[in-house]
């Protein structure tokens, strides 16, 4: 099975750092760390352990080695889960296969992102908690939070598991204290670099951009939540729990530790996702809890059907949205599944990196791309501007090697647009970034007099 996991990920290892621009940001700050010795976050609130761990892999082997490091973590995830389910589950082999070939896990285990590494340390924390090793569980949880701060919410299901397994109150307090201390130590690079108050200020400012209306929040949560597991997978899981509702109630009444803590784990991560319904990968930590939950009540045949439904989502996506622009339109259509779609997105991204850097523009030009490092990092057609174009512009800027007058920037606000024009720059915007920039900056390209490039 481990060989199968490797074979299904190999096609993605060499196609860039990932389809998510954040993966390229991680790669950039990692390389900068080794070159200059200066740490900086890839994006706030900061993911220090992943940013630091990725540095040597990015510098020594680029995307293939960095992605392979994530793949190695995925293999260890499977080994840790195997150790857990052989002790605790009725259908251990099926649960391991379910996670190993879940499309979201498949996609995330060949990219330079922290999702799989976070999951690894959460599984280690779960394994330790099941053995009542409270300090070890706390340390693993703190390390997981160092990779992604939101992982601290896993404290809720882990405390419930320790409590239901009879751990004394003293051990529960020890677990909370040790996990907080370990997490704080893991997060020290961020605090030392930016200072606590400045970090709080910047994080609040960055998070202020993430604003959803109640309707949008509900729609994003529902749609992206379903399409994290796949509609057939969600339908089959819901059917199993509905058919075995009496067994579910009985498990709760009997205070079965695995079932109740797994249920709390699923609910905890779903509530967290409702707060920030952005990337589907945010729900990946809920998968082991969900699989343990289903194992408690489902038959072997039902788990096999569930596994097939989930795995099919890697290749076929029975979607209810036709995607174009930021929102898309409601329309049933069947298209490529998550794994194939990831390969297509990465291939298109590499092509776009070359196309953007090869634009034929005359005179002084400034092009808004909608993204930063994802376009210029390790792109031989670009050079970083040695100094900012203007002191007021804090975004990274680069220019074409063959035409130093053509500069690129992720996006500009209204005042920056006017400043650029006063310096004699013609302003352009890439078509696929148009809607995103308009939404973020609060103006349209037409009213701002920006030329849109195909």
pLDDT tens digits for the chain (454 residues)? Answer: 888 888 888 889 999 999 999 999 999 999 999 999 999 999 999 999 999 999 999 999 999 999 999 999 999 999 999 999 999 999 999 999 999 999 999 999 999 999 999 999 999 999 999 999 999 999 999 999 999 999 999 999 999 999 999 999 999 999 999 999 999 999 999 999 999 999 999 998 888 767 778 888 999 999 999 999 999 999 999 999 999 999 999 999 999 999 999 999 999 999 999 999 989 999 999 999 999 999 999 999 999 999 999 999 999 999 988 877 666 788 888 999 999 999 999 999 999 999 999 999 989 999 999 888 899 999 999 998 877 777 666 567 899 999 999 999 988 888 889 988 998 999 999 998 898 888 878 899 999 999 999 8
CA distance 24 to 15: 12
| Euclidean distance between CA atoms 242 and 247, whole angstroms | 10
Q: What is the model's pLDDT at position 432?
A: 86
pLDDT for the residue 250: 95
Among the residues of 244-299, which ranges form H helices? 245-253, 257-275, 286-297
The CA distance from 117 to 180, in Å, is 19
The structure tokens listed for 310 are: 């989930």
Helix (H) or strand (E) holding 57: helix 48-88
Predicted pLDDT of residue 325: 64
Where helices occur in 89-168 by DSSP H, the ranges are 92-100, 103-108, 115-130, 134-147, 155-164
**What is the C-alpha to C-alpha distance for residues 295 and 263, in angstroms, rounded to an integer?**
12
The C-alpha atoms of residue 65 and residue 75 are separated, in whole angstroms, by 15
Q: In what order do the strands lie in the sheet with 365-368?
A: 382-384, 398-400, 406-409, 365-368, 426-430, 451-453
* Of the candidates 339, 342, 323, the residue with the CA atom closest to the CA atom of residue 331: 323
Closest by CA to 30, choosing from 69, 1, 76, 77, is 69
CA dist 437 and 430 (Å) reads 10
């Amino acid at each position: 099975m481990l060989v199968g996991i490797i074979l299904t990920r190999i096609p993605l290892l060499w196609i860039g750092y990932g389809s998510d621009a954040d993966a390229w940001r991680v790669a950039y700050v990692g390389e900068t760390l080794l070159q200059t010795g200066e740490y900086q976050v890839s994006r706030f609130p900061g993911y220090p352990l992943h940013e630091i761990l990725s540095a040597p892999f990015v510098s020594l082997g680029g995307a293939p080695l960095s992605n392979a490091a994530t793949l190695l973590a995925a293999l260890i995830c499977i080994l840790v889960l195997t150790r857990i389910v052989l002790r605790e589950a009725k259908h251990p082999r099926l649960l391991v296969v379910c996670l190993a070939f879940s499309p979201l896990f498949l996609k995330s285990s060949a990219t330079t992102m922290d999702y799989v590494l976070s999951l690894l340390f959460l599984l280690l924390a779960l394994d330790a908690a099941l053995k009542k090793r409270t300090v070890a569980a706390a340390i693993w949880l703190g390390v997981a939070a160092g990779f992604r701060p939101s992982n601290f919410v896993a404290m809720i299901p882990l405390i419930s598991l320790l409590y239901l397994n009879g751990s004394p109150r003293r051990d529960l307090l020890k677990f909370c204290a040790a996990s907080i201390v370990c997490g704080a130590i893991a997060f020290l690079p961020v605090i030392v670099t930016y200072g606590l108050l400045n970090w709080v200020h910047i994080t609040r400012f960055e998070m202020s951009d993430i604003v959803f209306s109640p309707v949008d929040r509900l729609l994003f949560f529902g749609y992206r939540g379903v399409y994290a597991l796949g509609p057939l997978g969600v339908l089959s899981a819901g059917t199993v729990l509905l058919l075995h509702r009496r067994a579910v109630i009985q498990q709760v009444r009997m205070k079965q530790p695995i079932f109740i803590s797994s249920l709390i784990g699923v609910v905890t991560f779903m509530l967290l996702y409702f707060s920030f319904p952005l990337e589907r990968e945010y729900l990946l930590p809920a998968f082991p809890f969900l699989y343990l939950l289903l194992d408690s009540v489902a038959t072997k045949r039902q788990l096999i059907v569930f596994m097939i439904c989930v795995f099919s989502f890697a290749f076929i996506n029975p979607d209810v949205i036709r995607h174009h622009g930021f929102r898309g339109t409601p329309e049933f259509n069947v298209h490529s599944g998550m794994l194939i779609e990831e390969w297509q997105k990465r291939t298109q991204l590499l092509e776009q990196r070359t196309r953007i850097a090869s634009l034929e523009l005359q005179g002084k030009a400034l092009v808004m791309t909608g993204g930063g490092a994802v376009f210029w990092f390790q792109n031989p057609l670009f050079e970083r501007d040695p100094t900012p174009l203007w002191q007021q512009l804090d975004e990274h800027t680069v220019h074409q090697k063959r035409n130093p007058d053509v500069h690129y920037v992720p996006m500009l606000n209204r005042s920056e647009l006017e400043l650029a024009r006063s310096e004699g720059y013609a302003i352009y915007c890439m078509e696929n970034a148009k809607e995103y920039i308009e939404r973020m900056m609060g103006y349209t390209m037409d009213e701002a007099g920006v030329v849109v490039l195909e």
